[in-house]
Structure 1
Amino acid sequence: MALMGKVALITGAAQGLGKAFSEALLKRGARVAMLDMKPEEGERTGQEMAEKFGPENSRFIQCDVTASEQLDGAFDKASSHFGGLDLVVNNAGILNEVQWERCLAINLEAVIRGTFTGLNHMSTQNGGRGGHIINVASIAGLLSSIPAAPVYTASKHGVVAASRCMGHAMHYKRHGVRVNVICPSFTDTDIVKVTEDSMGKDFWMVPKTYEKLGGLLPVSTVVEGFLQLVEDETRNGAVMRVTLAKGIDFKKYREDMF
């Protein structure tokens, strides 16, 4: 997708990867609606982007992605403000095993809801222009086991599976919207700063997982992979990995058996 003039919506955009993705798209001429539930951080990021790229090109919309009415309303506001949508990035996520229901609600349910809502707005069947949905999972969604984070791991496996299904040609023929997923290794953002309050007594095991994977990825490396995925119009149902060991590559699966 050539980004000049395109309209993107990104969840979890106040900080971390969401903020970095937003800035990368704005630098390439896109217009971006940045969604986040944190009003202070969101307004600050929104002001920063408006000063750098112009208020006409970016907008912050406060939204709790687990509240369906808020999410629907945020999509409507973004589409109305910018005149449609071309790219949806379901990025919002948390690492919290204590509040495990909320972890599932944000990491999996909201991603699925964001995917369907993005389809409703961009589908050629509904008068949309077609487009691209990128769901942000994690390398945890491809690993067999992270004992200290079973719920987080399950949520990310779910994101990978749902994205691959929605990226099937059957759906693309109907909607004209591609769906892909990016699985970065653990990245140097606030999400990895776990405590006993968020992870329980096994929280100390989480940094051990980072060490086994070679350390934390810099945000810039994930952004590089993200932009490749955004701009590659040949991919649909693809699973991009971003790791320190192998860099940016795609996981290969056997062909469907039916």
Structure 2
Amino acid sequence: MAALAPHVVRSLSMQLVFATLTLGFGILALRVAPRPGRNVRLGAWHLAGVTFTTIGAIATVVDVLAIPAAVQGSGRFFDFFLHASTIGNDARGFAVFGFALALTDMMVRRRPAPPRRVVIWGMVGLLAVGAGVGVLEGAFVGSRQHSVIALVSGATVVALFAALYAGMVSNSIDWHLWVALGIYAVREALASVISAARAAGYIANEWKPSAVWIFPLGMASVLVMLWCTLVRLGVARGTDAPGLLERLRG
């Protein structure tokens, strides 16, 4: 074991902070809507809360494990971590993709979120599918892992933008969550492009764009998402808030 280089310490720290902030957003979203209820807007908050709490918790655990793995540098635990992180990445990716599809269905049909047990079991199913894909990937291969991330993230972005458009025109989502998820969708689009570029770099064995700069961008985006949630909590938990077009029209 050797001392970690400063850039590795920075990268690990930023990843952990990023994951913790994502978890915080999910927890606060659940404070806005602890239960799905019959209100479409509050149901969207609940769905977002369950999703981001789940992926934030998984990311936090993985990023904590990354510290001893990085210190070890090689060996059984390091190999275990690489495989576990692949499974975790795929599980989180499928969870968010499923959330985007469910949100699109809610916004288009203007119907409330499913009951809590359906949401929870649906999340478990999505995590299982994603974890299964990660297991099938086998040992970590950079080109393969980044290709999967780019594909799933790209599909998620398309579904999220469809949900945001439908929610905007139907006023089925309040402006706080619309802005938060809009920022998240843009960040996911950038992450998808970066993952695709990194996958191409691994395949060609050439230069690959660094992912380090994406963490400050990710942290900044989550901070704005947290701000939107705190403002929404100020409106009063469990009550309705205006949609984006209603807000713009005053």
TM class, shorter-chain normalised?
A: 0.3 to 0.5
TM-score after normalising by structure 2: 0.35
Work out which structure has the larger RCO, using CA pairs closer than 8 Å and 6 or more positions apart in sequence: 2
TM-score between the two structures when normalised by the length of structure 1: 0.34
Which is richer in helix? 2
Higher strand share: 1
